[in-house]
Structure 1
Protein backbone atom coordinates (compact mmCIF):
# COMPACT_ATOMS: atom_id res chain seq x y z
CA UNK A 1 0.00 0.00 0.00
CA UNK A 2 2.76 2.44 0.91
CA UNK A 3 4.59 1.69 -2.33
CA UNK A 4 1.49 2.27 -4.46
CA UNK A 5 0.89 5.63 -2.78
CA UNK A 6 4.52 6.56 -3.31
CA UNK A 7 4.28 5.75 -7.01
CA UNK A 8 1.20 7.94 -7.36
CA UNK A 9 2.77 10.90 -5.56
CA UNK A 10 4.46 12.50 -8.61
CA UNK A 11 1.14 12.53 -10.50
CA UNK A 12 -0.72 14.06 -7.56
CA UNK A 13 1.92 16.76 -7.21
CA UNK A 14 1.90 17.52 -10.96
CA UNK A 15 -1.89 17.83 -11.04
CA UNK A 16 -2.17 19.99 -7.95
CA UNK A 17 0.83 22.30 -8.48
CA UNK A 18 0.12 26.00 -9.15
CA UNK A 19 0.24 26.61 -12.87
CA UNK A 20 -0.67 30.26 -13.43
CA UNK A 21 -0.55 31.21 -17.13
CA UNK A 22 -0.11 27.58 -18.10
CA UNK A 23 -2.59 26.00 -20.48
CA UNK A 24 -4.39 22.73 -19.82
CA UNK A 25 -5.54 20.69 -22.80
CA UNK A 26 -6.62 17.26 -24.01
CA UNK A 27 -4.10 15.85 -26.49
CA UNK A 28 -5.17 12.81 -28.52
CA UNK A 29 -2.64 10.18 -29.48
CA UNK A 30 -4.30 10.31 -32.91
CA UNK A 31 -6.87 12.88 -33.97
CA UNK A 32 -8.26 10.50 -36.59
CA UNK A 33 -9.06 6.90 -35.73
CA UNK A 34 -10.80 4.15 -37.70
CA UNK A 35 -14.32 2.99 -36.94
CA UNK A 36 -14.08 0.46 -34.12
CA UNK A 37 -10.58 1.65 -33.20
CA UNK A 38 -9.51 3.26 -29.91
CA UNK A 39 -9.87 6.86 -28.78
CA UNK A 40 -6.80 7.66 -26.70
CA UNK A 41 -5.70 11.01 -25.26
CA UNK A 42 -3.65 12.56 -22.46
CA UNK A 43 -4.34 15.45 -20.14
CA UNK A 44 -1.57 17.99 -20.66
CA UNK A 45 -0.46 21.06 -18.74
CA UNK A 46 2.22 23.45 -19.92
CA UNK A 47 3.04 26.25 -22.31
CA UNK A 48 3.35 26.63 -26.07
CA UNK A 49 1.89 23.16 -26.76
CA UNK A 50 4.58 21.49 -24.65
CA UNK A 51 3.76 20.17 -21.24
CA UNK A 52 3.54 17.51 -18.58
CA UNK A 53 1.27 14.51 -19.00
CA UNK A 54 -1.19 14.26 -16.13
CA UNK A 55 -3.02 11.25 -14.76
CA UNK A 56 -6.76 11.11 -14.13
CA UNK A 57 -8.03 11.46 -10.57
CA UNK A 58 -11.75 11.51 -9.88
CA UNK A 59 -11.41 13.95 -6.99
CA UNK A 60 -9.88 16.44 -9.42
CA UNK A 61 -12.64 16.05 -12.01
CA UNK A 62 -16.07 17.69 -12.10
CA UNK A 63 -17.12 16.68 -15.61
CA UNK A 64 -15.63 14.10 -17.95
CA UNK A 65 -17.60 12.83 -20.92
CA UNK A 66 -17.53 11.63 -24.52
CA UNK A 67 -20.16 12.92 -26.96
CA UNK A 68 -20.72 11.29 -30.35
CA UNK A 69 -23.66 11.74 -32.70
CA UNK A 70 -25.61 13.49 -29.95
CA UNK A 71 -25.07 10.68 -27.45
CA UNK A 72 -23.23 11.53 -24.22
CA UNK A 73 -21.35 8.96 -22.14
CA UNK A 74 -19.85 9.87 -18.78
CA UNK A 75 -16.24 8.72 -18.43
CA UNK A 76 -14.73 7.29 -15.24
CA UNK A 77 -11.20 5.91 -15.65
CA UNK A 78 -9.39 4.41 -12.72
CA UNK A 79 -7.50 6.76 -10.41
CA UNK A 80 -4.01 7.35 -11.76
CA UNK A 81 -4.80 6.24 -15.31
CA UNK A 82 -2.47 7.50 -18.03
CA UNK A 83 -3.54 8.03 -20.70
CA UNK A 84 -6.56 9.69 -19.15
CA UNK A 85 -8.69 8.61 -22.12
CA UNK A 86 -8.66 5.15 -23.61
CA UNK A 87 -12.06 3.94 -24.83
CA UNK A 88 -13.40 2.08 -27.87
CA UNK A 89 -14.32 4.31 -30.78
CA UNK A 90 -17.90 4.21 -32.08
CA UNK A 91 -18.84 1.66 -34.72
CA UNK A 92 -19.80 4.34 -37.22
CA UNK A 93 -18.53 7.66 -38.57
CA UNK A 94 -18.61 10.36 -35.90
CA UNK A 95 -17.12 13.56 -34.64
CA UNK A 96 -16.03 12.49 -31.16
CA UNK A 97 -16.10 15.35 -28.65
CA UNK A 98 -14.27 14.81 -25.36
CA UNK A 99 -14.94 17.29 -22.54
CA UNK A 100 -13.33 17.67 -19.14
CA UNK A 101 -13.92 20.19 -16.35
CA UNK A 102 -11.58 20.14 -13.37
CA UNK A 103 -12.34 20.73 -9.73
CA UNK A 104 -11.12 24.11 -8.45
CA UNK A 105 -7.46 24.61 -7.53
CA UNK A 106 -5.83 27.58 -5.82
CA UNK A 107 -2.60 29.48 -6.34
CA UNK A 108 -0.99 32.38 -4.50
CA UNK A 109 0.49 35.48 -6.08
CA UNK A 110 3.48 36.37 -3.96
CA UNK A 111 4.37 39.32 -6.19
CA UNK A 112 2.07 41.98 -7.66
CA UNK A 113 4.19 42.09 -10.82
CA UNK A 114 3.30 38.48 -11.64
CA UNK A 115 -0.40 39.25 -11.48
CA UNK A 116 0.11 42.30 -13.69
CA UNK A 117 1.99 40.17 -16.23
CA UNK A 118 -0.76 37.56 -16.24
CA UNK A 119 -3.51 40.20 -16.58
CA UNK A 120 -1.69 41.84 -19.50
CA UNK A 121 -1.07 38.50 -21.21
CA UNK A 122 -4.73 37.50 -21.05
CA UNK A 123 -5.97 41.04 -21.80
CA UNK A 124 -7.77 41.78 -18.54
CA UNK A 125 -7.45 45.53 -18.95
CA UNK A 126 -9.18 46.62 -15.73
CA UNK A 127 -7.95 43.83 -13.44
CA UNK A 128 -5.26 45.90 -11.72
CA UNK A 129 -7.48 48.91 -11.12
CA UNK A 130 -10.39 46.73 -9.95
CA UNK A 131 -8.07 44.90 -7.57
CA UNK A 132 -6.73 48.15 -6.12
CA UNK A 133 -10.19 49.72 -5.86
CA UNK A 134 -11.41 46.72 -3.89
CA UNK A 135 -8.59 47.22 -1.40
CA UNK A 136 -7.30 43.68 -1.79
CA UNK A 137 -3.72 42.85 -0.81
CA UNK A 138 -1.12 43.29 -3.54
CA UNK A 139 1.07 40.44 -2.30
CA UNK A 140 0.15 37.01 -1.00
CA UNK A 141 -3.36 37.03 -2.46
CA UNK A 142 -5.02 33.97 -3.92
CA UNK A 143 -6.70 32.96 -7.16
CA UNK A 144 -8.95 29.96 -7.70
CA UNK A 145 -8.90 28.40 -11.16
CA UNK A 146 -10.73 25.74 -13.12
CA UNK A 147 -10.11 24.14 -16.52
CA UNK A 148 -12.76 23.53 -19.17
CA UNK A 149 -11.22 21.51 -21.98
CA UNK A 150 -12.67 20.07 -25.17
CA UNK A 151 -11.09 18.01 -27.93
CA UNK A 152 -12.41 17.10 -31.37
CA UNK A 153 -11.45 13.69 -32.81
CA UNK A 154 -12.60 12.07 -36.04
CA UNK A 155 -13.89 8.52 -36.13
CA UNK A 156 -13.88 7.29 -39.71
CA UNK A 157 -14.89 10.29 -41.82
CA UNK A 158 -15.48 12.39 -38.67
CA UNK A 159 -18.99 13.29 -39.78
CA UNK A 160 -20.89 15.32 -37.20
CA UNK A 161 -21.05 18.67 -35.48
CA UNK A 162 -20.03 20.16 -32.15
CA UNK A 163 -22.55 21.84 -29.83
CA UNK A 164 -22.66 23.50 -26.44
CA UNK A 165 -22.06 20.94 -23.71
CA UNK A 166 -23.05 23.00 -20.69
CA UNK A 167 -19.56 23.61 -19.37
CA UNK A 168 -19.07 26.86 -17.44
CA UNK A 169 -17.03 28.21 -20.34
CA UNK A 170 -16.19 26.54 -23.64
CA UNK A 171 -15.45 26.79 -27.30
CA UNK A 172 -18.17 25.57 -29.63
CA UNK A 173 -16.75 24.58 -33.01
CA UNK A 174 -18.90 25.95 -35.81
CA UNK A 175 -16.67 24.22 -38.38
CA UNK A 176 -15.72 20.55 -38.60
CA UNK A 177 -12.01 20.47 -39.48
CA UNK A 178 -12.29 16.82 -40.59
CA UNK A 179 -15.10 17.40 -43.09
CA UNK A 180 -14.29 16.92 -46.77
CA UNK A 181 -15.52 20.43 -47.58
CA UNK A 182 -13.63 22.20 -44.77
CA UNK A 183 -12.38 25.50 -46.17
CA UNK A 184 -9.37 26.14 -43.90
CA UNK A 185 -11.24 28.63 -41.69
CA UNK A 186 -11.92 27.29 -38.17
CA UNK A 187 -15.01 29.08 -36.92
CA UNK A 188 -15.71 28.94 -33.21
CA UNK A 189 -18.02 30.55 -30.68
CA UNK A 190 -16.83 31.30 -27.12
CA UNK A 191 -19.39 30.81 -24.34
CA UNK A 192 -19.46 31.69 -20.65
CA UNK A 193 -22.33 30.30 -18.59
CA UNK A 194 -24.19 29.61 -21.82
CA UNK A 195 -23.93 33.19 -23.12
CA UNK A 196 -21.67 34.38 -25.93
CA UNK A 197 -18.47 36.28 -25.07
CA UNK A 198 -18.06 39.26 -27.41
CA UNK A 199 -14.64 40.88 -27.75
CA UNK A 200 -12.91 38.01 -25.95
CA UNK A 201 -9.25 37.25 -26.58
CA UNK A 202 -8.53 33.89 -28.17
CA UNK A 203 -4.94 32.68 -28.02
CA UNK A 204 -4.06 30.16 -30.72
CA UNK A 205 -1.21 27.66 -30.50
CA UNK A 206 -0.39 26.22 -33.92
CA UNK A 207 1.90 23.17 -34.04
CA UNK A 208 3.35 22.12 -37.38
CA UNK A 209 4.28 18.54 -38.30
CA UNK A 210 7.93 19.25 -37.43
CA UNK A 211 6.89 20.38 -33.94
CA UNK A 212 7.41 24.12 -34.38
CA UNK A 213 4.78 26.17 -32.53
CA UNK A 214 3.54 29.64 -33.40
CA UNK A 215 1.23 31.71 -31.20
CA UNK A 216 -1.27 34.30 -32.43
CA UNK A 217 -3.97 36.40 -30.77
CA UNK A 218 -7.49 36.91 -32.08
CA UNK A 219 -10.75 38.44 -30.84
CA UNK A 220 -14.35 37.36 -31.00
CA UNK A 221 -16.94 39.57 -32.68
CA UNK A 222 -20.20 40.87 -31.21
CA UNK A 223 -21.70 37.37 -31.52
CA UNK A 224 -18.79 35.82 -29.62
CA UNK A 225 -17.47 34.25 -32.82
CA UNK A 226 -14.17 34.27 -34.66
CA UNK A 227 -12.85 32.60 -37.83
CA UNK A 228 -9.20 31.56 -37.62
CA UNK A 229 -7.19 30.33 -40.63
CA UNK A 230 -5.66 26.90 -40.04
CA UNK A 231 -3.28 24.71 -42.01
CA UNK A 232 -3.45 21.10 -43.17
CA UNK A 233 -1.16 18.81 -41.18
CA UNK A 234 -1.13 21.08 -38.12
CA UNK A 235 -2.70 20.61 -34.69
CA UNK A 236 -4.15 23.41 -32.56
CA UNK A 237 -5.01 24.64 -29.10
CA UNK A 238 -7.49 27.49 -28.84
CA UNK A 239 -7.44 29.15 -25.41
CA UNK A 240 -9.76 31.73 -23.80
CA UNK A 241 -9.85 32.76 -20.14
CA UNK A 242 -12.51 34.34 -17.94
CA UNK A 243 -11.40 36.41 -14.94
CA UNK A 244 -13.97 37.26 -12.28
CA UNK A 245 -13.98 38.24 -8.59
CA UNK A 246 -14.48 35.26 -6.30
CA UNK A 247 -18.13 35.41 -5.24
CA UNK A 248 -17.60 33.59 -1.94
CA UNK A 249 -14.60 35.64 -0.77
CA UNK A 250 -15.02 36.66 2.89
CA UNK A 251 -11.48 37.46 3.96
CA UNK A 252 -9.23 38.82 1.16
CA UNK A 253 -6.20 38.00 3.28
CA UNK A 254 -7.08 34.29 3.34
CA UNK A 255 -9.65 33.50 0.66
CA UNK A 256 -9.22 33.63 -3.13
CA UNK A 257 -10.08 37.09 -4.40
CA UNK A 258 -10.08 36.15 -8.09
CA UNK A 259 -11.35 33.20 -10.09
CA UNK A 260 -10.16 32.20 -13.55
CA UNK A 261 -11.97 29.81 -15.87
CA UNK A 262 -9.85 28.47 -18.72
CA UNK A 263 -11.47 27.20 -21.91
CA UNK A 264 -9.38 25.10 -24.30
CA UNK A 265 -10.17 23.41 -27.61
CA UNK A 266 -7.85 20.99 -29.41
CA UNK A 267 -8.18 19.57 -32.91
CA UNK A 268 -6.08 18.81 -35.97
CA UNK A 269 -6.51 19.54 -39.67
CA UNK A 270 -5.98 16.54 -41.97
Structure 2
Protein backbone atom coordinates (compact mmCIF):
# COMPACT_ATOMS: atom_id res chain seq x y z
CA UNK A 1 0.00 0.00 0.00
CA UNK A 2 1.11 3.55 -0.70
CA UNK A 3 1.72 5.76 2.35
CA UNK A 4 -1.13 7.97 3.48
CA UNK A 5 -0.77 11.63 2.48
CA UNK A 6 -1.75 14.94 4.03
CA UNK A 7 -4.23 15.47 1.17
CA UNK A 8 -5.82 12.10 1.99
CA UNK A 9 -6.28 13.17 5.61
CA UNK A 10 -7.77 16.49 4.48
CA UNK A 11 -10.17 14.75 2.12
CA UNK A 12 -11.32 12.37 4.87
CA UNK A 13 -12.09 15.40 7.01
CA UNK A 14 -14.07 16.88 4.10
CA UNK A 15 -16.06 13.65 3.78
CA UNK A 16 -16.99 13.87 7.44
CA UNK A 17 -18.06 17.49 6.97
CA UNK A 18 -20.14 16.76 3.87
CA UNK A 19 -21.73 13.70 5.49
CA UNK A 20 -23.27 15.91 8.15
CA UNK A 21 -25.30 17.76 5.49
CA UNK A 22 -25.73 15.16 2.72
CA UNK A 23 -27.92 12.04 2.62
CA UNK A 24 -26.03 8.76 2.90
CA UNK A 25 -27.37 7.69 -0.50
CA UNK A 26 -25.97 10.72 -2.36
CA UNK A 27 -24.41 9.69 -5.65
CA UNK A 28 -24.28 12.15 -8.52
CA UNK A 29 -22.18 15.30 -8.89
CA UNK A 30 -23.27 17.82 -11.52
CA UNK A 31 -23.15 21.43 -12.66
CA UNK A 32 -26.49 23.22 -12.36
CA UNK A 33 -26.65 26.23 -14.68
CA UNK A 34 -30.43 26.50 -14.63
CA UNK A 35 -32.91 25.83 -17.40
CA UNK A 36 -32.97 29.01 -19.45
CA UNK A 37 -30.44 29.97 -22.12
CA UNK A 38 -28.60 33.29 -21.63
CA UNK A 39 -28.32 36.01 -24.25
CA UNK A 40 -25.05 37.34 -25.64
CA UNK A 41 -23.21 39.40 -23.04
CA UNK A 42 -25.16 37.99 -20.10
CA UNK A 43 -23.34 36.63 -17.06
CA UNK A 44 -24.49 33.39 -15.47
CA UNK A 45 -23.54 31.58 -12.26
CA UNK A 46 -23.78 27.83 -11.74
CA UNK A 47 -23.96 25.59 -8.68
CA UNK A 48 -21.97 22.43 -8.13
CA UNK A 49 -24.39 19.89 -6.67
CA UNK A 50 -24.07 16.47 -5.10
CA UNK A 51 -27.10 14.32 -4.44
CA UNK A 52 -29.48 11.97 -6.13
CA UNK A 53 -32.38 12.19 -8.59
CA UNK A 54 -31.52 15.84 -9.37
CA UNK A 55 -32.00 16.75 -5.72
CA UNK A 56 -28.83 17.93 -4.06
CA UNK A 57 -27.23 20.68 -2.00
CA UNK A 58 -25.03 23.32 -3.62
CA UNK A 59 -21.37 22.99 -2.64
CA UNK A 60 -19.00 25.91 -2.10
CA UNK A 61 -15.84 26.34 -4.14
CA UNK A 62 -12.88 24.74 -2.36
CA UNK A 63 -9.49 24.42 -4.02
CA UNK A 64 -8.88 21.22 -2.04
CA UNK A 65 -11.88 19.70 -3.85
CA UNK A 66 -11.79 21.30 -7.31
CA UNK A 67 -8.80 20.59 -9.57
CA UNK A 68 -9.95 22.79 -12.46
CA UNK A 69 -12.94 24.63 -13.93
CA UNK A 70 -12.97 25.65 -17.60
CA UNK A 71 -15.23 27.57 -19.99
CA UNK A 72 -15.16 26.27 -23.57
CA UNK A 73 -16.75 28.82 -25.88
CA UNK A 74 -17.25 28.23 -29.62
CA UNK A 75 -14.04 30.21 -30.17
CA UNK A 76 -11.63 29.31 -27.36
CA UNK A 77 -11.29 28.05 -23.80
CA UNK A 78 -10.19 29.68 -20.57
CA UNK A 79 -10.01 28.68 -16.90
CA UNK A 80 -12.69 29.83 -14.51
CA UNK A 81 -11.62 31.42 -11.25
CA UNK A 82 -13.53 31.50 -7.97
CA UNK A 83 -12.74 32.53 -4.42
CA UNK A 84 -12.64 30.06 -1.55
CA UNK A 85 -16.11 29.53 -0.18
CA UNK A 86 -17.95 30.98 -3.18
CA UNK A 87 -21.48 29.65 -3.54
CA UNK A 88 -22.44 29.33 -6.39
CA UNK A 89 -19.02 27.83 -6.99
CA UNK A 90 -19.00 29.07 -10.60
CA UNK A 91 -19.52 32.82 -10.59
CA UNK A 92 -20.50 35.33 -13.25
CA UNK A 93 -19.44 33.56 -16.43
CA UNK A 94 -19.95 35.99 -19.31
CA UNK A 95 -21.13 34.50 -22.60
CA UNK A 96 -19.70 36.94 -25.11
CA UNK A 97 -20.61 34.97 -28.23
CA UNK A 98 -23.55 32.98 -29.49
CA UNK A 99 -23.39 29.23 -29.89
CA UNK A 100 -22.95 26.13 -27.74
CA UNK A 101 -20.81 26.72 -24.65
CA UNK A 102 -19.45 24.03 -22.32
CA UNK A 103 -18.44 24.47 -18.68
CA UNK A 104 -16.36 21.70 -17.13
CA UNK A 105 -15.23 20.79 -13.61
CA UNK A 106 -12.62 18.22 -12.60
CA UNK A 107 -12.12 17.31 -8.96
CA UNK A 108 -9.19 16.19 -6.87
CA UNK A 109 -9.46 12.66 -5.48
CA UNK A 110 -11.87 12.22 -2.58
CA UNK A 111 -12.51 9.15 -0.46
CA UNK A 112 -15.30 7.06 0.95
CA UNK A 113 -15.36 3.95 3.16
CA UNK A 114 -18.10 1.32 2.91
CA UNK A 115 -18.63 -0.28 6.30
CA UNK A 116 -19.93 -3.62 5.02
CA UNK A 117 -19.86 -5.72 1.86
CA UNK A 118 -23.66 -5.51 1.38
CA UNK A 119 -23.39 -1.70 1.46
CA UNK A 120 -20.63 -1.85 -1.17
CA UNK A 121 -22.66 -4.28 -3.30
CA UNK A 122 -25.76 -2.06 -3.19
CA UNK A 123 -23.70 0.85 -4.48
CA UNK A 124 -22.17 -1.27 -7.25
CA UNK A 125 -25.56 -2.62 -8.35
CA UNK A 126 -27.04 0.88 -8.54
CA UNK A 127 -24.20 2.02 -10.82
CA UNK A 128 -24.31 -1.08 -13.03
CA UNK A 129 -21.03 -2.46 -11.67
CA UNK A 130 -22.12 -5.64 -9.88
CA UNK A 131 -19.24 -7.64 -11.37
CA UNK A 132 -16.81 -5.61 -9.25
CA UNK A 133 -18.06 -7.47 -6.15
CA UNK A 134 -16.75 -10.74 -7.62
CA UNK A 135 -13.43 -9.10 -8.47
CA UNK A 136 -13.26 -7.79 -4.90
CA UNK A 137 -13.53 -11.33 -3.56
CA UNK A 138 -11.09 -12.68 -6.16
CA UNK A 139 -8.53 -10.15 -4.94
CA UNK A 140 -8.97 -11.52 -1.41
CA UNK A 141 -10.03 -8.13 -0.08
CA UNK A 142 -11.85 -7.70 3.24
CA UNK A 143 -15.65 -7.56 3.48
CA UNK A 144 -15.67 -4.46 5.71
CA UNK A 145 -13.99 -1.08 5.79
CA UNK A 146 -13.81 -0.97 1.98
CA UNK A 147 -12.08 2.27 0.98
CA UNK A 148 -12.56 3.86 -2.45
CA UNK A 149 -10.95 6.88 -4.08
CA UNK A 150 -13.18 8.75 -6.53
CA UNK A 151 -12.72 11.53 -9.07
CA UNK A 152 -15.41 13.56 -10.85
CA UNK A 153 -15.58 14.88 -14.42
CA UNK A 154 -18.63 17.13 -14.86
CA UNK A 155 -19.84 19.03 -17.93
CA UNK A 156 -22.80 21.35 -18.55
CA UNK A 157 -24.03 22.57 -21.93
CA UNK A 158 -25.32 26.13 -22.34
CA UNK A 159 -26.85 27.39 -25.59
CA UNK A 160 -26.50 31.12 -26.19
CA UNK A 161 -28.85 32.50 -28.83
CA UNK A 162 -30.58 30.51 -31.58
CA UNK A 163 -29.20 27.09 -32.49
CA UNK A 164 -27.03 27.16 -35.61
CA UNK A 165 -25.61 24.40 -37.80
CA UNK A 166 -22.20 24.72 -36.15
CA UNK A 167 -23.58 24.45 -32.59
CA UNK A 168 -22.45 20.93 -31.75
CA UNK A 169 -20.90 19.44 -28.64
CA UNK A 170 -17.23 18.42 -28.74
CA UNK A 171 -14.76 16.62 -26.44
CA UNK A 172 -13.02 18.81 -23.89
CA UNK A 173 -10.17 16.47 -22.95
CA UNK A 174 -11.35 15.33 -19.55
CA UNK A 175 -10.33 11.76 -18.62
CA UNK A 176 -13.91 10.44 -18.51
CA UNK A 177 -16.63 12.35 -20.31
CA UNK A 178 -20.05 12.15 -21.91
CA UNK A 179 -20.27 14.10 -25.18
CA UNK A 180 -23.43 14.71 -27.22
CA UNK A 181 -23.43 13.75 -30.87
CA UNK A 182 -24.76 17.12 -32.06
CA UNK A 183 -26.79 19.21 -29.62
CA UNK A 184 -29.76 18.64 -27.32
CA UNK A 185 -31.14 22.12 -28.02
CA UNK A 186 -32.88 21.44 -31.34
CA UNK A 187 -36.61 22.08 -30.89
CA UNK A 188 -38.73 18.96 -30.66
CA UNK A 189 -35.81 16.57 -30.21
CA UNK A 190 -37.01 13.27 -28.72
CA UNK A 191 -33.82 11.17 -28.63
CA UNK A 192 -30.19 12.04 -28.09
CA UNK A 193 -27.07 10.12 -29.09
CA UNK A 194 -24.11 10.49 -26.73
CA UNK A 195 -20.63 9.01 -26.61
CA UNK A 196 -18.78 8.00 -23.45
CA UNK A 197 -14.98 8.08 -23.61
CA UNK A 198 -12.16 7.13 -21.29
CA UNK A 199 -8.79 8.79 -21.93
CA UNK A 200 -10.07 9.82 -25.36
CA UNK A 201 -11.07 6.31 -26.47
CA UNK A 202 -14.48 4.63 -26.55
CA UNK A 203 -15.81 3.37 -23.20
CA UNK A 204 -17.91 0.34 -24.23
CA UNK A 205 -20.62 -1.48 -22.32
CA UNK A 206 -20.95 0.97 -19.44
CA UNK A 207 -24.23 1.99 -17.85
CA UNK A 208 -25.41 5.57 -18.32
CA UNK A 209 -28.21 6.79 -16.07
CA UNK A 210 -30.44 9.54 -17.45
CA UNK A 211 -32.26 11.70 -14.90
CA UNK A 212 -35.03 14.01 -16.07
CA UNK A 213 -36.95 16.54 -14.00
CA UNK A 214 -39.88 17.99 -16.00
CA UNK A 215 -40.39 21.75 -16.05
CA UNK A 216 -42.45 22.74 -13.02
CA UNK A 217 -41.66 19.47 -11.25
CA UNK A 218 -40.03 18.98 -7.85
CA UNK A 219 -37.00 16.78 -7.28
CA UNK A 220 -36.70 14.04 -6.27
CA UNK A 221 -40.38 13.04 -6.38
CA UNK A 222 -40.92 14.05 -10.02
CA UNK A 223 -37.50 12.93 -11.31
CA UNK A 224 -37.37 9.88 -13.58
CA UNK A 225 -34.31 7.62 -14.01
CA UNK A 226 -33.72 5.71 -17.25
CA UNK A 227 -30.82 3.30 -17.78
CA UNK A 228 -29.02 2.69 -21.07
CA UNK A 229 -25.70 1.03 -21.92
CA UNK A 230 -23.00 2.13 -24.32
CA UNK A 231 -22.31 -0.06 -27.34
CA UNK A 232 -18.93 -1.35 -28.48
CA UNK A 233 -17.96 2.12 -29.73
CA UNK A 234 -19.08 3.95 -26.59
CA UNK A 235 -22.33 5.29 -28.08
CA UNK A 236 -25.75 5.22 -26.44
CA UNK A 237 -29.14 6.64 -27.33
CA UNK A 238 -31.17 8.26 -24.56
CA UNK A 239 -34.75 9.53 -24.62
CA UNK A 240 -35.66 13.19 -24.32
CA UNK A 241 -39.18 13.23 -22.86
CA UNK A 242 -39.59 17.02 -22.95
CA UNK A 243 -38.62 20.29 -21.32
CA UNK A 244 -36.87 20.29 -17.97
CA UNK A 245 -33.53 19.51 -16.40
CA UNK A 246 -31.37 16.64 -17.65
CA UNK A 247 -28.46 14.82 -16.05
CA UNK A 248 -26.52 11.89 -17.50
CA UNK A 249 -24.18 9.99 -15.20
CA UNK A 250 -21.70 7.13 -15.72
CA UNK A 251 -19.17 5.42 -13.44
CA UNK A 252 -16.13 3.24 -14.08
CA UNK A 253 -14.09 1.54 -11.37
CA UNK A 254 -10.68 -0.07 -11.34
CA UNK A 255 -8.36 -1.70 -8.78
CA UNK A 256 -6.16 0.55 -6.67
CA UNK A 257 -3.35 0.05 -4.18
CA UNK A 258 -3.58 3.04 -1.90
CA UNK A 259 -3.23 5.68 -0.75
CA UNK A 260 -3.66 4.24 2.70
CA UNK A 261 -6.29 1.50 2.73
CA UNK A 262 -7.84 2.43 -0.64
CA UNK A 263 -8.46 -0.67 -2.81
CA UNK A 264 -10.68 0.78 -5.60
CA UNK A 265 -10.61 3.94 -7.68
CA UNK A 266 -13.73 5.20 -9.45
CA UNK A 267 -14.19 7.85 -12.13
CA UNK A 268 -17.51 9.63 -12.57
CA UNK A 269 -18.69 11.41 -15.71
CA UNK A 270 -21.72 13.68 -15.71
CA UNK A 271 -23.39 15.80 -18.37
CA UNK A 272 -26.18 18.26 -17.57
CA UNK A 273 -28.32 20.73 -19.49
CA UNK A 274 -31.73 22.38 -19.33
CA UNK A 275 -34.42 22.46 -22.01
CA UNK A 276 -36.89 25.35 -21.90
CA UNK A 277 -40.64 24.73 -22.40
> Could you state the TM-score of these two structures normalised by the residue count of structure 1?
0.88
2:47 is equivalent to residue 42 of structure 1? yes
Task: Say yes or no: does 1:86 pair with 2:97.
Answer: no
Give the corresponding residue for 1:203.
209
Match of 1:223 in 2: 233
Q: Deviations over 1:183-227 (max 9, x none)?
A: 322111001111111111010101011322111111111211112
1:189 corresponds to: 195
What's the counterpart of residue 264 of structure 2?
Answer: 258
Alpha carbons of structure 1 residues 22 and 110: separation in structure 2 relative to 1, 3 Å: same
Residues 1:100 and 2:110 are matched in the alignment: no
How far did residue 169 of structure 1 move? 0.4
Residues 20-29 or 103-112, more deviating: 20-29
Match of 2:5 in 1: none
Q: Which has the higher contact order (CA 8 A, sep 6+)?
A: 2
User: Residue 56 and residue 11 in structure 1: after superposition, are their counterparts in 2 closer, same or farther (change >3 A)?
Assistant: farther
Structure 2 partner of 1:249: 258
Paired residues in the alignment total 257
Cα 1:179–1:46 change in 2 (3 A) is same
Q: Is the 8 A contact 2:120 2:146 kept in 1?
A: no
Match of 2:169 among 155, 162, 176: 162
Q: CA RMSD in A?
A: 2.4
Whole-Å Cα distance in 2 between the matches of residues 55 and 98 of structure 1?
Answer: 17
Q: How does 1:110-125 map to 2 (within 5 A)?
A: 110-125=115-130
Cα shift readout 1:10-56 (whole Å, capped 9, x = no counterpart): 99923898966511000013441111111221000001100111011
Structure 2: tracts of 5 or more residues without a match: 1-12
